[in-house]
Structure 1
Amino acid sequence: MLAENLKEQTLANHQQLEKKLVGQIKGLTSKEDYIKLLQLFYGYFGGLEERINLFIDQNIIPDHANRRKTESIAADITELGGTPADKAINNDLPEINNAQQALGALYVIEGSTLGGSIISKMISGRLGLQNGLSFFNSYGDNTHQMWAVFKNILNGQPAESQPVVVDAANSTFLKFENWIEQHN
């Protein structure tokens, strides 16, 4: 099944990125630090979603419109008094030239929702914030249901497309890590 293959074959890159992000989160000391973190996500996810949207629509993922993250990140930034950053373009992003590559990139974005509630609590606790957390709260109580639906879509992909999806997911993890290093 593709969802399990993705988890196994992207584990090293996922853990490397996660370690970097957890370090960033643990280093937050002010609302301004948090805004900068959100701007990192906005820039990368914003550019990534624009590419994904060229190949994914409601015919592939019926609730695709509900899965976009850029608007909630921008709303959080604005609510906290910041301005959304520029979106990633060109070589800052993974290659996405078809629906399979878009699904691989979307795997990274959708996977980020699973730890979001924990991250939201960490940030709220560290900074005493009660607002500006909609991105990390994402789907709220529906997070695991949304993940299950996405996994089913992945598992419905033809076997021959699996290497393309896995490569795109790995590239998405690596490019996000590069984005963070370049913009910190």
Structure 2
Amino acid sequence: MLSENLKKETLANHQQLEKMLVVKMKSIRSPQDYVDLLQLFYTYFGGLETLIDQHINANELSDHAARRKSAALAQDIIDLGGQPLPKATGADLPPINDTLDAFAAMYVIEGSTLGGKIISKMMAQQLNIPDGKGLSFFNGYGEDTDAMWQAFKQRLDEKPKNEQEEAKMIHTADQTFAMFHAWITKQAA
């Protein structure tokens, strides 16, 4: 099944990225630090969504509009007193040439919702955010997060029609993780 193979084949780059993000999250001490973290997600995911939107719409994925993350990220940034930065473009993003690539990149974006509840609680406590402002991205789909993930994985598993298409999707997802890591490194320089 593609979703299981994606998890296995992208593990190294996924773990590298996750390790980097956990260090950043643990070092957050102010709302500005948190805005800086949100900007990393906004700029990269926002750029990805622009490319994904060229290949996926409601016909391909009925709840595609509800799965977009950049608007929630932008609102969180604004709620915390920041302004969204320009989105990543060009060579900073993996090539998204068709629906297979788009679904593979969405795998990375959708997967980011899974740890969101934990991160949201951590940020609320670290920054004393009692009203939830600035936490909509990490709150993801709330109580529906697991159901939304399962529904996405089911649709994802239907996409590849042969081994070559599956290999292509695995490659794109792996690149998406690796390039997000590179994007974060570049922004810190």
With the length of structure 1 as denominator, give the TM-score of the two structures. 0.98
Give the Cα separation in 2 of the matches to 1:26 and 1:134: 19
Query: What RMSD over aligned residues (CA atoms) do the two structures have, in Å?
Result: 0.7
Separation (CA, whole Å) in 2 of partners of 1:174 and 1:57: 25
State the partner residue of 1:71: 71
- Does residue 185 of structure 2 align to residue 170 of structure 1? no
Q: How many residues align?
A: 184
Residue 58 (structure 1) shift: 1.1
Give the aligned residue type for 2:153: K
Identical counterparts, % of pairs: 52
Which amino acid is 1:80 matched to?
A: L
Partner of 2:144: 142
Whole-Å separation in 2 of the counterparts to 1:85 and 1:36: 10
Give the 3-state SS of the residue equivalent to 1:183 in structure 2. Answer: helix
Q: Aligned ranges for residues 38-53 of structure 1 at < 5 Å?
A: 38-53=38-53
* Displacement of 1:72: 0.3
Unaligned runs of 5+ in 2: none
- TM-score by structure 2 length? 0.96
1:1-184 equivalent positions in 2, closer than 5 A: 1-130=1-130, 131-157=133-159, 158-160=161-163, 161-184=165-188
1:94-124 CA-to-partner distances (Å, cap 9, x unmatched) read 0110110111100000000000111111111
Q: CA deviation at 1:126?
A: 1.0
CA distance in 1, matches of 2:103, 2:157: 11
SS at match of 2:7: helix
- Runs of 4+ residues over 2 Å off in structure 1: none
